[in-house]
Amino acid sequence: MTATPDSATPPAAHRVIEPLYAEILRRNQGEKEFHQAVREVLETLGPVLAQRPEFVDARIIERICEPERQLIFRVPWSDDSGDIHVNRGFRVEFSSSLGPYKGGLRFHPSVNLGIVKFLGFEQIFKNALTGMPIGGGKGGSDFDPKGRSDAEIMRFCQSFMTELHRHLGEYTDVPAGDIGVGGREIGYLFGQYKRITNRYESGVLTGKGLGWGGALVRTEATGYGCVMFTAEMLRSQGDSLDGRRIAVSGSGNVAIYAIEKAQQLGATVVTCSDSDGYVVDEKGIDLALLKEIKEAGRGRVSEYAERRPEARFVPGTGVWSVPCDVALPCATQNELHEADALALVRNGVKAVAEGANMPTTPEAVRVFQEAGVAFAPGKAANAGGVATSALEMQQNASRDSWTFAHTEERLAEIMRHIHDSCYTTAERYGSPGNYVVGANIAGFELVADAMLAQGLI
Ligand code: NDP
């Protein structure tokens, strides 16, 4: 596979990007999600490399693609029957050019180094786009929390933090949640960090509980931010979300709050899903019921259809055959394929925004772009979560806590800023309306300029 620079890329930049990508494949063998994330960024950087040859001379891309530090460690723990398990923990500290490493922890059996590196790489540019002083990192474990008791989750989190704590710090590396890591896990992780270090260092983790250093709106921020970004994209086309029909995938943290904000803005969300299948509810998802099943009961979406006669459960497949005006993939990477994109376009989709990280395959992105569908990549559309984490760090540092309304207004401002910077950067570099180009170049320039200023790092 090659990284084929897009048509706006001058030939000289082709000569830089192609061998560089080949070298990345050679040095990071088997890490297919990382390759995909790097390729998607490199393909769009041609115009900026042509205008800013100092980035090429300083080998900024080679440096950005190599994490500053990669940690892999053993996580032993015992289950409720006393049986011993051994999982693998990861933390990839990718870039500290703009601030302490910042990015979530994922607990899911699919986690491996390639997945953590793809997420960490994306995080560098996403965090830059927020305009906040945060670098990029990501971590997690191949631990599967499904079906585990609270006590087992706690013992796992304590063992994980027993190793990870020595690499963290409010000025060093600040993790948060991701798939499989929510408020409960952050609580157990924070408790163990505090116990080992004897420091009440609130700013070392974000997504904390509201009574002990957490920030209002953090829980809602990724989903809310994704819908705010979508509203900005539609606004730039003289349109709005009011009265629109929306398909959401997933039913975790991001999906639930994307549904909530979309409903607040007058849209009807007709789907949600988990890895067992999806529900379609033509009357609009009953969010109170969904929250009860997923947040309180940690149950499955199939239960939603059992309890709501208007809804139908479709097992074993994704939501994308359901007609909609706006699609918000909010579950996981590579969940929206070319055939799904073709179906969505056939059914008249107008905008797609990634609530999840890299949920849309490159072939599907191409289908949307060729059909003129407004497409927002995750590094822009789901940056509201990490931006609000940075607001949580700000509140921790000043020992203050802000109101919901104030914090939500800050989030809305940040999402507008990200939208506008992607939009204007895409125009400036000859790809108007292309949010992928805009997000990649705007994020890259901020990090690359900081690296140039900070010497050979
Ligand atoms: P949750 O664990 O809360 O929810 C994940 C959802 O996605 C669940 O419905 C889950 O279903 C589904 N899912 C996970 N893996 C798969 C899979 N392999 N196939 C099908 N469905 C799957 O995670 P979040 O909502 O926090 O995260 C969702 C996405 O958003 C991820 O890509 C994450 O990286 C991204 N993101 C999250 C942020 C945050 O603040 N939480 C910030 C920015 C991005 P099931 O229960 O069946 O596994």
Reading across the β-sheet that carries 69-78, which strands appear in turn? 69-78, 84-95, 136-141, 101-107, 173-176
Residues 59-105: pLDDT tens digits?
Answer: 999 999 999 999 999 999 999 999 999 999 999 999 999 999 999 99
In this prediction, residue 13 carries a pLDDT of 66
Q: What is the residue with the minimal CA distance to atom 32 of ligand 1?
A: 356
Question: Distance between CA 311 and CA 283 in Å, rounded?
Answer: 8
Please tell me if the CB atom of residue 49 comes closer than 6 angstroms to any atom of ligand 1.
no
* Residue 297 pLDDT grade (very low, low, confident, very high; cuts 50, 70, 90): confident
Name the catalytic one among 102, 117, 126, 138: 138
SS3 451: helix
Please tell me if the CB atom of residue 114 comes closer than 6 angstroms to any atom of ligand 1.
no
Domains recognised in the chain with CATH numbers: 1-63+433-457 (1.10.285.10), 69-201 (3.40.50.10860), 221-376 (3.40.50.720)
Reading across the β-sheet that carries 326-329, which strands appear in turn? 311-315, 277-281, 268-274, 245-249, 326-329, 351-353, 374-376
Q: What is the residue with the minimal CA distance to atom 5 of ligand 1?
A: 252
For the chain, the farthest-separated pair of C-alpha atoms sits apart, in whole angstroms, at 63
* Residue 7 pLDDT grade (very low, low, confident, very high; cuts 50, 70, 90): low
Active site residue 138: yes
Among the residue ranges 220-234, 295-309, 355-369, 381-395, the one predicted with the least confidence is 295-309
Query: Which atom of ligand 1 approaches the CA of 108 most closely?
Result: 15
Residues 374-385: pLDDT tens digits?
Answer: 999 999 999 999
| 295 or 100, which is more confident | 100
Query: Which atom of ligand 1 approaches the CA of 182 most closely?
Result: 3
Residues 110-140: pLDDT tens digits?
Answer: 999 999 999 999 999 999 999 999 999 999 9
Ligand 1 centroid–CA 330 distance in Å is 7
* Residue 296 pLDDT grade (very low, low, confident, very high; cuts 50, 70, 90): confident
Query: Which atom of ligand 1 approaches the CA of 180 most closely?
Result: 2
